């Protein structure tokens, strides 16, 4: 920062003196230009994506499917099978005499587009159907299409869905529903016969009921965040040994975090935030050392923070804010600095050891007394030294800003002085130089 200030002062000085002492300033400017050559425009290198179908020149798309695409407002003046297609919306197989669509992505549909039964029937060769921002009404599903689809994604589309409608798609491996209200008495209505699922997202869908006790062991991704699910995590969660992501955040789930969570040996990302989970952070969590992202914030978890968390080598995000955790924070500065996000504020009985962590590190918790209890924050004094007050700020965004704002107060002052001093020094030097060289 000081270097930057000095450089800025130098540039300023040069600009001010350029008319008087053109020779010197030009030489300096050239040296500057050499030191910072203009960076070449970085153009993104197009990476060819593997397309399953070999581009064929002879056959074209089945005329029935061309008509269906037209009814969905997708332009067909250009061959929809030619790659890359319009907005990458279509992908075809290589069958003869006509090619068939295997993937269709509809986005930003106008409000009069409707997914009619006729159109869907003509499109029954689709293996993947994705809708984004498509307010069409959902129609009855032709059985050929339900058998064929292995991937279905509906983001802010189809206005509203029912669990029964979704449950027909039994061959899905990938299901994403987000930003769409789904009416069902529970996730089990949708999932009970989808035995091939590997990735499931039903998020922001007003989904009620409780977590299903029988999930499919091949799931790698499970996201039921932002719904209205109740009840506890079933101990049978144990079966999900391939699970990489479990996101149950922002529901009304309660009870303890089951110790069987330690059986999810592949888990990388775990979020249980903004629920009503209580009790301790379970010890078996220590058998998930590959966690990258752990978010247990905004629950009623109590007990102390287990020190095994500091042995999670790959951890980048740790959020334990807004719980009832107590005792001494078991982390040192090198651990905290390694993380991109670290939040523990909002735990009124949690404190940090002043001989391990400086009060400059803004954590939003108090320092401990010698018994490991939080010292109550001293009353703020009105002196100009504002750096010490910051320790007790009730901010929980320490981690996202701490690298920039670490010494916020004093640095402004130091920077100002540095700029002023270097400006004066450079002014004097240049005045001397100029008085010599321009004479």
179: nearest Cα among 151, 208, 205: 205
- Residues that bind ligand NAG (rule: CB under 6 A) add up to a total of 47
**The two three-digit tokens of residue 100, written as one number:** 């068939």
Q: Which of residues 14-33 bind ligand NAG (CB under 6 A)?
A: none
- Of 59-67, 113-121, 263-271, 417-425: span binding ligand NAG (CB under 6 A): 263-271
For the segment 142-181, give every residue that binds ligand NAG (CB under 6 A).
146-147, 170-171, 181
Helices 22-35 and 2-17 pack at an angle, to 10 degrees, of 140
Q: For the chain, how many residues are written?
A: 439
Spatial CB neighbours of 4, under 8 Å, sequence gap ≥ 6: none
Report in angstroms how near the CB of residue 207 gets to ligand NAG at its nearest: 9
Please select the residue that binds ligand NAG; options are 18, 56, 76, 107, rule is CB under 6 A.
Answer: 107
Tell me the window of 351-359, 404-412, 413-421, 431-439 that interacts with ligand NAG (CB under 6 A).
Answer: 351-359
**Six token digits for residue 328:** 């001494």
- d(CA 174, CA 354) in angstroms, rounded, equals 49
Piece in contact with ligand NAG (CB under 6 A), picked from 52-60, 110-118, 239-247, 281-289: 239-247
Q: Which of residues 181-200 bind ligand NAG (CB under 6 A)?
A: 181, 195-196
Residues 300-339 that bind ligand NAG (CB under 6 A): 302-303, 310, 317, 328, 332, 334-335
The stretch among 32-40, 121-129, 258-266, 268-276 that binds ligand NAG (CB under 6 A) is 268-276
- Closest to ligand NAG by CB, 328 vs 418, is 328
Q: Does 299 bind ligand NAG (CB under 6 A)?
A: no
DSSP code, position 6: H
Select from 245, 275, 299, 319 the one that contacts ligand NAG (CB under 6 A): 245
d(CA 226, CA 217): 23
Q: Which is nearer to ligand NAG, 269 or 422 (CB)?
A: 269
Pick the binder of ligand NAG from 64, 179, 216, 230 (CB under 6 A): 216
Shortest distance in whole angstroms from residue 408 CB to ligand NAG = 25
Residues 383-422 that bind ligand NAG (CB under 6 A): none
Per-residue buried b or exposed e for 287-302, using 16+ beta carbons within 10 Å of the residue's own CB: ebeebbbbbbbbbebe
Using the rule CB under 6 A, is 218 a contact of ligand NAG?
Answer: yes
Cβ proximity of 61 and 89 under 8 Å: no
Percent helix / strand / coil, the chain, rounded to 5: 30, 20, 50
What Å distances lie between residue 415 and 2, 63, 188, 194, 379, CA to CA?
A: 6, 70, 61, 62, 29
- Tell which one of 176, 203, 322, 347 touches ligand NAG (CB under 6 A): 203
Smallest gap from residue 332 Cβ to ligand NAG (A): 4
Structural contact between residues 398 and 342, judged by C-beta atoms closer than 8 angstroms: yes
Q: SS3 of 276, please?
A: strand
Instruction: Select the residue whose beta carbon is closest to ligand NAG and give its number.
Output: 147
Cβ proximity to ligand NAG: between 28 and 223 the closer is 223
Smallest CA-to-CA distance from 235 within 260, 214, 262, 271 is with: 260
Q: Which helix (H) or strand (E) holds 253?
A: strand 252-256
Determine if 45 is a binding residue for ligand NAG (CB under 6 A): no
Residues 6+ apart with CB under 8 A from 319: 273, 294, 295, 296, 297, 341, 342, 343
Range in contact with ligand NAG (rule: CB under 6 A) among 65-73, 82-90, 375-383, 385-393: 82-90
The token pair at 312 is 């999670």
> Which residues lie near ligand NAG (CB under 6 A)?
46, 49, 84, 87-88, 107-108, 146-147, 170-171, 181, 195-196, 203, 206, 208, 216, 218, 225-226, 244-245, 247, 249, 268-269, 271, 278-279, 292-293, 295, 302-303, 310, 317, 328, 332, 334-335, 353, 355-356, 368, 370, 372
């Amino acid at each position: 920062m000081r270097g930057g200030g000095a450089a800025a002062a130098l540039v300023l000085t040069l600009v001010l003196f350029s008319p008087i002492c053109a020779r010197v300033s030009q030489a300096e400017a050239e040296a500057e230009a050499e030191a910072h050559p203009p960076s070449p425009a970085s153009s993104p290198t197009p990476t060819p994506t593997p397309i399953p179908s070999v581009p064929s020149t002879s056959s074209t798309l089945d005329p029935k499917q061309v008509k269906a695409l037209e009814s969905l407002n997708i332009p067909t003046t250009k061959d929809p099978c030619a790659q890359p297609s319009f907005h990458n919306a279509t992908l075809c197989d290589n069958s003869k005499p006509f090619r068939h669509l295997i993937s269709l992505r509809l986005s930003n549909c106008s409000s009069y587009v409707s997914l009619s039964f006729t159109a869907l029937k003509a499109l029954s060769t689709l293996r993947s159907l994705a809708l984004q921002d498509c307010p069409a009404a959902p129609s009855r599903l032709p059985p050929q299409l339900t058998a064929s689809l292995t991937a279905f994604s509906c983001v802010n589309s189809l206005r509203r869905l029912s669990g029964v409608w979704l449950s027909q798609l039994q061959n899905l491996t990938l299901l994403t529903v987000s930003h769409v209200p789904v009416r069902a008495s529970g996730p089990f209505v949708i999932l009970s016969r989808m035995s091939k699922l590997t990735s499931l997202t039903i998020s922001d869908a007003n989904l009620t009921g409780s977590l299903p006790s029988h999930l499919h062991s091949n799931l790698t991704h499970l996201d039921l965040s932002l719904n209205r699910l109740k009840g506890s995590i079933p101990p049978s969660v144990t079966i999900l040994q391939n699970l990489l992501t479990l996101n149950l955040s922002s529901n009304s789930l309660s009870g303890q975090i089951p110790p069987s969570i330690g059986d999810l040996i592949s888990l990388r990302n775990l979020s249980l935030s903004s629920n009503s989970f209580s009790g301790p952070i379970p010890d078996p969590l220590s058998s998930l050392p590959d966690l990258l992202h752990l978010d247990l914030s905004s629950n009623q978890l109590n007990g102390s923070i287990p020190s095994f968390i500091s042995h999670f080598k790959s951890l980048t995000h740790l959020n334990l804010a807004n719980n009832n955790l107590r005792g001494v924070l078991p982390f040192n500065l090198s651990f905290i600095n390694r993380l991109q996000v670290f939040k523990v504020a909002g735990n009124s009985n949690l404190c940090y050891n002043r001989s391990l962590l400086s009060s400059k590190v803004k954590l939003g918790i108090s320092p401990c007394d010698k018994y490991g209890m939080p010292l109550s924050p001293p009353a703020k004094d009105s002196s100009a030294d504002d750096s010490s007050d910051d320790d007790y700020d009730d901010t929980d965004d320490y981690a996202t800003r701490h690298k920039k704002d670490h010494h916020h107060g004093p640095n402004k002052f130091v920077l100002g002085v540095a700029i002023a001093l270097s400006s004066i020094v450079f002014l004097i030097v240049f005045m001397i130089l100029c008085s010599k060289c321009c004479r």
